[in-house]
Structure 1
């Protein structure tokens, strides 16, 4: 800890994968007496879990993609406008450092930080360096990673890299020291199925039929909790009813940490936050990487936990009911196999990720005299929030 109050800006794309670790870092920095502001886009401002004390400033994302020149112009205009707005925030908030979590909404903020000569740190959640983080990697002061092996990260930048892990929500991390739920040859087998924030149609189509193909002794003990898309949920409910498998279905679960706590096996996508939470808590998994994920990063995310024995990965083109039943049977037919996989997943966790990332962030900043000046000044969060609100209305 620095022992002084500083100001930090966190810039993150508008998805849970980018924002969950940003929220966790914000809480840790606030615990240490610092003031934190978040910059994201309109979608990111709606992501559940944002700390109430964390002001969110909305900037144009500045996404430059595709082949349409008009799209490039619109994206470039967003980048320029977002950079201008971020510089105004910096003038009032005076951040000690700016932390980028990737995603196109972080692009204008990181450009502004470079222009203002403010120390910059990147946090990469995935096992493949994202495009925005890749652009800034050689330009920032430090790079924090969530995996020991990160593809697309230039080895020449090794001196900048610190492995900290991917921070998870406090309510999930609180489960780390709880024992794996008791599982015997006679007990229920509780399976949790999710497909990201919007569910995944392939899971809705394959999982019920795969569970129905399990041996009777195992199938009769199933208890399923599954997230599904609104347009799919009635069809999924019918599938489970037809197979005689009890299942609780919803389009969204508020208490996901509680669901994870009681689960013996997870089936779902391999997003960075999912992997971080599974390894933080220690839950075995069958992972189906999203095939259209940029640079196939979800497949890369599975490498460490699969190699450790904590999970199995199935490519979506090979994800059939029979293959799923085969993998579940291999993991759950003997109680000790599932418990061993849980322990292997637990060993892949980084429970101190938020603290280690905060330590790294605190290591960059202004001279001690500037910290003394900031301690004597009024926090600029209220002023900057109002300023950004006015700009957003222009």
Structure 2
């Protein structure tokens, strides 16, 4: 969402200068630079779930990252700082508050992470993606914005699926894949094949499982487009009748904005089970189905897929429910709020 917000600001202000402050993960830096933005890094890591020694190390890094953040902020001289919930948001936003620079935060999940729960006490504005999050933000201006999604998805190829066309399933476990989902899908496809059902599957496996899942498709005669990573998500979404995926905040926002029916399998080890909380919000609105990972196997997944393959009306209802939960103007709402902070600075 940070890139979407930055692009929105750039489209409104020709001469705006934007800087991303990140942790030390190389992938994050590469993504930001590839998107055309400047990035700097600080030494920071999470403190939850740490042993005593690791916790002491993390707290020391917090002190170091605060000094680094102070140097970066004084050098860049921003008019506003927005935190999007990562570990690096903490020291940067706290330094900004100390220096009197307006700050805002954006919370992607229905249950806020620790960083944003702390920063909520200091931020001028808090943008939330779910109404269920509002109770955790008691101070400042709290705005229900939604979670910004990529422009290429919002303005991408519209779905033109017809009832007589072959049923298409999009499987994705995030950019790194999800072994439990990958294996369950292969097992489910075997059961569907026995029942005389032959969906076409677009399957993002992640790097680690790619060869095994590709070989499983070939060995069992499944018709699928198996890839490590899908670059053109707009086309993949447009082709799909049903999506099987994790329940990260960005995925939930994309499914809702596009009105895509889905079977969600929340990552069970996410902090505070926030993926399960995200999924339950969409399920409660009739916009998704859900299988907890402890209940996930080929039989349970095949049963749900079979139901939707044989009952397109249920898919239409789910699509309608997802669309009602979507907030396609999230980026615009956040950009407007940030510009207000800049003008008042």
**Is the structural similarity TM-score above 0.5?**
yes
CA–CA distance in structure 2, aligned partners of residues 244 and 230 of structure 1: 22
Contact 2:247 2:265 in 1 (8 A): yes
CA–CA distance in structure 1, aligned partners of residues 51 and 185 of structure 2: 39
| Corresponding residue for residue 62 of structure 2 | 79
SS in 1 for 2:148: coil
Aligned counterpart in structure 1 of residue 162 of structure 2, from 173, 183, 194: 183
SS in 1 for 2:31: coil
Deviation per CA, 1:150-177: give whole Å up to 9, x if none: 28715x44x631100000111111138x
Deviation per CA, 1:166-219: give whole Å up to 9, x if none: 00111111138x2x33232x4211111011121011012111111222276762
| Corresponding residue for residue 153 of structure 2 | 172
Deviation per CA, 1:331-355: give whole Å up to 9, x if none: 2212332233223212221111001
Deviation per CA, 1:245-270: give whole Å up to 9, x if none: 21121211222222112111110100
Deviation per CA, 1:290-343: give whole Å up to 9, x if none: 010100000110123212222101111111211111111222212332233223
Deviation per CA, 1:121-154: give whole Å up to 9, x if none: 1100001010111112122212110011128715
CA–CA distance in structure 2, aligned partners of residues 302 and 347 of structure 1: 15
| Corresponding residue for residue 103 of structure 1 | 86
1:47 to partner: Cα distance: 5.2
Contact 1:199 1:229 in 2 (8 A): yes
Aligned counterpart in structure 1 of residue 3 of structure 2, from 3, 23, 46: 23
CA–CA distance in structure 2, aligned partners of residues 50 and 338 of structure 1: 39
| Corresponding residue for residue 262 of structure 2 | 285
SS in 2 for 1:191: strand
Contact 1:129 1:151 in 2 (8 A): no
Stretch moving more, 192-201 or 145-154? 145-154
CA–CA distance in structure 2, aligned partners of residues 53 and 238 of structure 1: 37
CA–CA distance in structure 2, aligned partners of residues 68 and 217 of structure 1: 50
SS in 1 for 2:10: helix
Q: 1:239 to 1:42 in 2, by over 3 A?
A: same
CA–CA distance in structure 1, aligned partners of residues 32 and 151 of structure 2: 10
Q: 1:183 to 1:94 in 2, by over 3 A?
A: same
The answer to whether the aligner puts 1:267 opposite 2:215 as a matched pair is no
Q: 1:325 to 1:181 in 2, by over 3 A?
A: farther
Structure 1's unaligned 5+ residue stretches are 1-20, 371-394
SS in 2 for 1:258: helix
1:78 to partner: Cα distance: 2.1
CA–CA distance in structure 1, aligned partners of residues 45 and 216 of structure 2: 43
SS in 1 for 2:169: strand
Number of residues of Structure 1 aligned to a counterpart in Structure 2: 342
TM-score (normalizing by structure 2) = 0.91
TM-score (normalizing by structure 1) = 0.81
Aligned counterpart in structure 1 of residue 18 of structure 2, from 33, 36, 44: 36
Q: 1:280 to 1:49 in 2, by over 3 A?
A: farther
CA–CA distance in structure 2, aligned partners of residues 195 and 345 of structure 1: 19
| Corresponding residue for residue 39 of structure 2 | 56
Deviation per CA, 1:46-79: give whole Å up to 9, x if none: 4536564421111112433444343233223322
CA–CA distance in structure 1, aligned partners of residues 72 and 207 of structure 2: 39
Contact 1:287 1:312 in 2 (8 A): yes
Aligned counterpart in structure 2 of residue 203 of structure 1, from 176, 181, 186: 181
| Corresponding residue for residue 315 of structure 1 | 292
What are the equivalent positions in structure 2 for 1:131-150 lying under 5 Å apart? 131-150=114-133
The answer to whether the aligner puts 1:305 opposite 2:282 as a matched pair is yes
Contact 1:23 1:50 in 2 (8 A): no
Contact 2:248 2:275 in 1 (8 A): yes
| Corresponding residue for residue 295 of structure 1 | 272
CA–CA distance in structure 1, aligned partners of residues 28 and 56 of structure 2: 25
CA–CA distance in structure 2, aligned partners of residues 78 and 195 of structure 1: 31
